[in-house]
């Protein structure tokens, strides 16, 4: 008998045992309970593995059956691979075992992230999804040495936007298994839920997620924390006019949907005089391009052109839930960019809040217009730092793709903190240039102080950032162009296909680290 035939016979016998055990524990299966465990690749050996602490504990409880099944079920579990075993333990009718890669993986300088954390997120996400596909409704997840990363992987992996479908994915509750790090697990749950909130808003169709509906959703999420959070929803155009936000108004007037300027104040610091962190997000709930109409192919994705507002507001909601000891103000200018008889026309000149005039040569470069007024308004709060996020340019997608968010900053201090946060979350950022070379291209305008598009098609993301810089006087400002990371196909393994909600967790981690410096 060959080794292959022997393994096959042993595996068949093991499956027969499992089926008998499965039949005896039918009541447990009816409760739809599962378990996700991890295994590491063994150093220097191609066909072996090391069990995690929780996996070893279960293996001992079942007299080594887990190890036996792993050995005879095929090649050793590499990173990203998995197995499902049935009837292995009376408390868990099905157990998913996932490959975590090398046990000693840590921060990788060339990749700019913590490889170990990323491996955990990806592996446990895959394990949870396997059990969800089996209609398991309750899953216990082991920490694999990092409870926060494990929770993030589970929560992010299970999310799918199916609110408008009659047939929905099984709703799965998750629980930490075999670890004392409950605090890390709960923190990871909040981080994951924060990103999922941004995904929920970005994925929703534009006829449902209007500026008003967006603002109402965020207010509802913050309602339980009303003692520490103030929400201002400016619904009337008269307030925008009063604030002299001519750039924002010029974008909004083409739509029948009224604009909303959402303003959120979170007072989390014991020091009420502490200068706030300002988070500003572009909130175009649908971008047709206006008179400079976009081509129809892919225009449906422009329901997520409010991704900057979604990630900023979701980050603030998460910071509040975490009770971070920091003051944060979130600003989201919300409107649609639509063509109509009232819409701005190419060549129009508008005046921003700081008095600068702007020649609008392309109405599809509207994000920088709404952000210009929001950034001016942000300065009225004497901020500690200003961070804005926006799905601003297709050029950023061309430059970096979905690998990282492009960051333009006038502050090394601010950039370093954003970068450090992104290494931890795995949702990377990459610094881009703010040269005067690009500024000259947006100040070269025939009719006004600025042109909303550069004089050259090259470096579009850079000229957009240079435009925004004209509305910033604060010494610590960063512009995050998130156009390239707006959606996910299969680039991030722990996210399903769809809108990504990136980089919500990086913004939360940045705020958490900044709170510790206060």
Q: Please provide the size of the chain in residues.
A: 518
Peptide bond connecting 503 to the previous residue in cis, omega within 30 degrees of 0:
yes
Pair type for strands 405-409 and 477-481: antiparallel
Pair type for strands 107-108 and 113-114: antiparallel
- H or E segment to which residue 308 belongs: helix 307-321
| DSSP symbols for 99-135 | EEEETT--EETTTTEEHHHHHHHHHHHHHHHHHHHTT
Beta strands in 343-484 (DSSP E): 348-351, 357-360, 385-390, 405-409, 429-431, 450-451, 477-481
Query: What's the CA gap between 329 and 248, in Å, rounded?
Result: 19
Half-sphere exposure in the Cβ direction for 477 (13 Å, CA): 20
Among 329, 343, 439, 340, CA closest to 384: 329
Query: Greatest CA separation found in the chain?
Result: 87
Q: By the 8 A CB rule, do 367 and 392 touch?
A: yes
Query: What's the CA gap between 329 and 284, in Å, rounded?
Result: 19
Query: What's the CA gap between 395 and 322, in Å, rounded?
Result: 35
The angle at the Cα of 313, spanning 312 to 314, to the nearest 5 degrees, equals 95
Active site residue 428: no
Active site residue 294: yes
Catalytic residue selected from 368, 384, 417, 469: 368
Query: What's the CA gap between 426 and 454, in Å, rounded?
Result: 33
Catalytic residue selected from 102, 294, 431, 513: 294
Among 513, 74, 62, 60, CA closest to 315: 513
Among 373, 388, 391, CA closest to 287: 391
Catalytic residues, by residue number, are 294, 368
């Amino acid at each position: 008998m060959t080794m292959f035939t022997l393994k096959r016979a042993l595996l068949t016998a093991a499956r027969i045992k499992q089926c008998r055990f499965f039949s005896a524990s039918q009541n447990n299966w009816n409760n739809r309970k599962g378990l996700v465990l991890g295994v590491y690749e063994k150093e220097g050996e191609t066909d072996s593995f090391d069990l995690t602490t929780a996996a070893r504990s279960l293996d001992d409880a079942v007299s080594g059956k887990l190890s036996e099944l792993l050995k005879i079920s095929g090649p050793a579990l590499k990173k990203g691979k998995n197995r499902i075993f049935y009837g292995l333990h009376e408390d868990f009718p099905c157990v998913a075992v996932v490959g975590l890669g090398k046990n000693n993986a840590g921060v990788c300088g060339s990749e700019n992230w913590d490889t170990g954390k990323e491996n955990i997120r990806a592996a446990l996400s895959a394990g949870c999804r396997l059990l969800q596909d089996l209609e398991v409704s309750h899953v216990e997840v082991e920490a694999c040495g990092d409870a926060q990363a494990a929770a993030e992987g589970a929560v992010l992996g299970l999310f799918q936007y199916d609110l408008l479908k009659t047939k929905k994915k099984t709703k799965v509750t998750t629980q930490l298994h075999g670890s004392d790090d409950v605090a890390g697990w709960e923190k990871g749950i909040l981080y994951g839920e924060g990103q999922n909130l941004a995904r929920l808003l970005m994925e929703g169709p534009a006829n449902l997620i209007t500026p008003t509906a967006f603002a109402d959703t965020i207010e509802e999420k913050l309602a339980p924390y009303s003692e520490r959070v103030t929400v201002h929803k400016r619904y009337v155009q008269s307030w925008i006019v009063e604030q002299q936000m001519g750039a924002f108004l010029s974008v909004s007037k083409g739509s029948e949907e009224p604009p909303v300027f959402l303003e959120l104040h979170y007072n989390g610091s014991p020091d009420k005089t502490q200068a706030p962190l300002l988070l500003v997000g572009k909130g175009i709930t649908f971008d047709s391009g206006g008179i400079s109409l976009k081509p129809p192919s892919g225009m449906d994705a422009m329901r997520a052109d409010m991704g900057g507002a979604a990630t900023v507001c979701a980050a603030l909601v998460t910071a509040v839930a975490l009770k971070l000891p920091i003051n944060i103000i979130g600003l989201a200018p919300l409107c649609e960019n639509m063509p109509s008889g009232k819409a701005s026309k190419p060549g129009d000149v508008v005046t921003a809040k700081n008095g600068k005039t702007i020649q609008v040569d392309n109405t599809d470069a509207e994000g920088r217009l709404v952000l210009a007024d929001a950034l001016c308004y942000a300065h009225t709060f004497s901020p500690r730092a200003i961070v804005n996020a926006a799905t601003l340019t297709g050029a950023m997608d061309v430059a970096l793709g979905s690998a990282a968010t492009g960051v333009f900053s006038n502050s090394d201090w601010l950039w370093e903190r954003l970068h450090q946060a992104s290494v931890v979350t795995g949702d990377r950022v990459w610094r881009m240039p703010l040269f005067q070379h690009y500024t000259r291209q947006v100040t070269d305008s025939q009719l006004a102080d600025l042109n909303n598009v550069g004089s050259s098609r090259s470096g579009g993301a850079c000229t957009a950032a240079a435009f925004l810089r004209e509305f910033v006087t604060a010494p610590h400002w960063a512009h995050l162009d998130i156009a390239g990371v707006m959606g996910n196909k299969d680039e991030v393994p722990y996210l399903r296909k769809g809108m990504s909600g990136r980089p919500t967790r990086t913004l939360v981690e940045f705020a958490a680290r900044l709170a510790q410096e206060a």
